[in-house]
């Protein structure tokens, strides 16, 4: 397969596409509940350290490989391996990435479906005048209803795959362009509201007062996995986007901007959600339902709350949509690379992901107590192992290829940081990111 000539229309388009992939459920849904389950400030601190030491340099490595190879992930890896005269087996990393995103998308779609349900409920005014207990109970009733969940999951898969099938991420990026700033606007309003609640002080204390005693190996592993998940690193999904990067664009600048924005969105939603948790005496370690229980409570307090709540879920839906498009891309581009028509590839992948997603749907009712590994039901399994283990393993292999295997000239040219910047990046990846990931993976898995 020869080099792709397609390019993002502008530097801004590239940044928007990567931001679209990064900002999603990871920031607004997963970050708060993981923080809640992993000791608050301890998790937050580790997560930021991992974003800076692992996420950023590895994100550069991943996008750089795509840009240097200018092909779909498997082909880019094979091409660069040939160029550097190393084993072609590196291309299987692209397959590993596709398997990782397959499982991630299967639960991502189910949870995004919850946003659809809440969007409709908000518009219908279903939360008006409800007590926190009633709001919690209605979420539980929704989870216990596989048909409603399947309906929303199906709708979300259709949304995602129709864009992927058309291969026009372009229209979506334009939509993103308008919607994302609005989402940040609402989050800032929510943050402002949080400051006025009685739980704000407790939330700040809980999030920002260092609590070293709460750090365990499982907290470390979860924080590392979340850093990869939230930046969308380690699955070759950003590699696919790197292939279309314009020639004249600074990769580190783009990556820094995206990472800062990603952290900011997570912090804002964390502050808002935990202020509500502490104001109403809820449980911070409530788990995956945390956001869906806290936000309707907060908005029902605000004037015009239903409109805000509806707008919030609509914008969240757009944010998760752009992430899920990125999740589907490595699988579809792999089949397209093997000669498939894009639309066919999208339909096949979409149907398979949808089917596996049904197991996550049922994990809240019929299959709730069916344990696949240890104590984990299917939803817990796919929302834990692929993000927390597969992504770091994928990121590690990507980093090894980028820093030890591919030709330094090609890497340096695609990173586009000048000789000094290149040495800094190389040193960081070789002697910090790679060893740190290995140590955390090995220690916490034993
Ligand atoms: N980064 C996305 C989020 O935070 C999830 C994602 C992971 C997207 C891996 C693409 C690849 O919601
Ligand atoms: Na994210």
The tens digit of pLDDT for each residue in 230-249 reads 999 999 999 998 998 988 89
Q: What sign has the CA pseudo-torsion 437, 446, 34, 326?
A: positive
Residue 338 has pLDDT above 90, yes or no: no
Tell me, what's the ipTM? 0.98
Asked, for residue 383, whether it belongs to a domain, the answer is yes
Q: Which ligand is nearest to the CA of 234?
A: 1
The four Cα atoms 38, 113, 232, 367 give a dihedral, to 10 degrees, of: 60
Question: Which atom of ligand 1 approaches the CA of 262 most closely?
Answer: 4
Asked whether residue 222 is domain-assigned, the answer is yes
Q: Ligand nearest 225 Cα, by number?
A: 1
Q: Is residue 141 part of a domain?
A: yes
pLDDT of 172 > 70? The answer is no
**Position 318 confidence tier, pLDDT thresholds 50, 70, 90:** confident
Flag whether pLDDT at 169 surpasses 60: no
Asked whether the beta carbons of 113 and 155 are under 8 A apart, the reply is yes
Chain center to CA of 12: 20
* CATH classification at residue 116: 1.20.1740
Find out whether 327 and 105 touch, Cβ atoms under 8 Å: yes
Confidence of residue 7 (pLDDT cuts 50, 70, 90): confident
Residue 330 or residue 171, greater confidence? 330
Return the best residue to mutate from 24, 34, 265, 331 for the ligand 1 pocket (most ligand atoms within 8 A of CB). Answer: 24
How far is the C-alpha of 109 from the C-alpha of 284, rounded, in Å? Answer: 24
The residues facing 376 across adjacent strands are 373
User: Can you give the pLDDT at residue 1?
Assistant: 60
Element (H, E) at 333: helix 305-337
**Confidence band for 173, pLDDT divided at 50, 70 and 90:** low
Instruction: State the pLDDT at residue 170.
Output: 58
CB-CB contact of 69 with 75 (8 Å): yes
Ligand 1, atom nearest to 229 Cα:
7
Q: Which of 20-29, 159-168, 240-249 has the highest mean pLDDT?
A: 20-29
Q: Which of 184-193, 303-312, 392-401 has the lowest mean pLDDT?
A: 303-312
In a domain? residue 5: no
Pairwise CA distance, residues 114 & 145, whole Å: 12
Which residues contact ligand 1 via a Cβ below 6 A?
A: 21-22, 24-27, 101, 104, 229-230, 232, 235, 237, 323, 326-327
Q: What is the pLDDT of residues 364-399, one digit of tens each?
A: 999 999 999 989 999 999 999 999 999 999 999 999
Q: Return the closest-CA partner of residue 163 out of 172, 153, 173.
A: 172
Spacing, Cα 255 to ligand 1 middle (Å): 15
- In this prediction, residues 357-362 reach a mean pLDDT of 98
pLDDT of the residue at 12: 83
- Alpha-helical segments (H) within 85-216: 92-123, 132-143, 146-166, 169-196, 200-208
| Within-domain flag for 112 | yes
* Structural domain boundaries enclosing 157: 11-445
Query: Is 3 within the bounds of a domain?
Result: no
Ligand (nearest to CA of 21) = 1
- Provide the terminal-to-terminal Cα distance of the chain, rounded to the nearest Å: 42
What band does 132 get if pLDDT is binned at 50, 70 and 90? confident
In the structure, what pLDDT confidence band is assigned to residue 65 with cuts at 50, 70 and 90? very high
Ligand 1 atom closest to 234 (CA): 9
CA of 229 to the centre of ligand 1 (A): 5
Q: Is the pLDDT of residue 176 over 80?
A: no
Give yes or no for a contact between 327 and 104, defined as CB atoms under 8 angstroms apart. yes
pLDDT at residue 311, as a whole number: 85
Ligand 1 pocket test, candidate residues 17, 19, 21, 265, most atoms within 8 A of CB: 21
Is 91 within 8 Å of 77 (Cβ atoms)? yes
| Residues 41-50 pLDDT 10s | 999 999 999 9
Work out whether the CA dihedral 194, 196, 197, 202 comes out positive or negative. Answer: positive
Spatial separation of the C-alpha atoms in residues 254 and 60, rounded to whole Å:
9
Q: What confidence category does residue 5 fall into, taking pLDDT thresholds of 50, 70 and 90?
A: low
Q: What is the Cβ-side half-sphere exposure of residue 32, based on CA atoms within 13 angstroms?
A: 30
Asked if the structure places residue 4 within a domain, the reply is no
- pTM for the full predicted model: 0.95
**What confidence category does residue 168 fall into, taking pLDDT thresholds of 50, 70 and 90?**
low
Radius of gyration of the chain, Cα coordinates, nearest whole angstrom = 21
Return the structure tokens found at 87.
């084993």
- Could you identify the atom of ligand 1 that is nearest to the CA of residue 26? 4
Among protein residues, the one with the nearest Cα to ligand 1's atom 8 is: 232
Mean of all residue pLDDT scores within the chain:
92
Task: Give percent of the chain with pLDDT exceeding 90.
Answer: 71
Quote the number of domains for the chain. Answer: 1
Tell me: pLDDT of 336 over 70: yes
Confirm whether 440 is domain-assigned: yes
């Amino acid at each position: 397969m020869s080099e792709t000539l397609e390019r993002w229309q502008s530097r801004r388009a590239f940044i928007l596409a990567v931001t679209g992939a990064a900002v999603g459920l990871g920031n607004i849904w997963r970050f708060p509940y993981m923080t809640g389950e992993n000791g608050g400030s301890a998790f937050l601190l580790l997560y930021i350290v991992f974003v800076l030491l692992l996420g950023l340099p590895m994100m550069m490595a991943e996008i750089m490989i795509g840009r240097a190879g200018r092909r779909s992930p498997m082909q880019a890896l094979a091409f660069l391996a040939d160029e550097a005269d190393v084993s072609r087996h590196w291309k299987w990393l692209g397959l590993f990435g596709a398997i990782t995103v397959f499982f991630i998308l299967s639960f991502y779609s189910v949870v995004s479906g919850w946003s659809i349900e809440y969007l409709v409920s908000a518009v219908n005014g279903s939360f008006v005048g409800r007590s926190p207990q009633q709001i919690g109970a209605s979420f539980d009733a929704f989870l216990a209803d596989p048909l409603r969940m399947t309906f929303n999951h199906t709708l979300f898969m259709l949304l995602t795959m129709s864009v992927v099938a058309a291969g026009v991420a372009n229209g979506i990026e334009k939509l993103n362009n308008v919607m994302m700033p609005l989402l940040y606007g609402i989050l800032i309003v929510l943050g402002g509201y949080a400051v006025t609640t009685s739980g704000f002080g407790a939330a700040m204390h809980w999030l920002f007062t260092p609590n070293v005693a709460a750090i365990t190996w499982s907290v470390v592993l979860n924080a590392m996995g979340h850093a990869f998940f939230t930046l969308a690193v380690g699955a070759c999904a950003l590699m696919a986007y790197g292939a279309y990067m314009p020639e004249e664009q600074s990769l580190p600048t783009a990556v820094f901007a995206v990472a800062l924005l990603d952290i900011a969105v997570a912090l804002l939603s964390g502050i808002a959600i935990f202020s509500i948790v502490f104001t109403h005496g809820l449980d911070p370690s409530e788990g995956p339902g945390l956001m869906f229980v806290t936000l309707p409570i907060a908005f029902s307090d605000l004037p015009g709350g239903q409109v805000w709540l509806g707008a919030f879920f609509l914008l969240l839906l757009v944010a998760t949509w752009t992430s899920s498009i990125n999740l589907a891309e490595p699988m579809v581009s792999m089949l397209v690379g093997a000669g498939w028509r894009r639309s066919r590839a999208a339909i096949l992948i979409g149907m398979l992901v949808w089917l596996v997603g049904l197991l996550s749907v049922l994990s809240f009712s019929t299959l709730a107590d069916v344990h696949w590994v240890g104590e984990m039901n299917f939803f817990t399994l796919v929302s834990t192992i692929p993000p927390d283990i597969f992504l770091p393993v994928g990121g590690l292999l990507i980093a090894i290829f980028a820093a030890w295997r591919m030709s330094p000239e090609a890497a340096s040219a695609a990173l586009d940081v000048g000789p000094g910047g290149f040495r800094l990046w190389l040193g960081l990846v070789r002697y910090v990111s790679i060893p740190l990931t290995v140590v955390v993976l090995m220690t916490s898995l034993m």
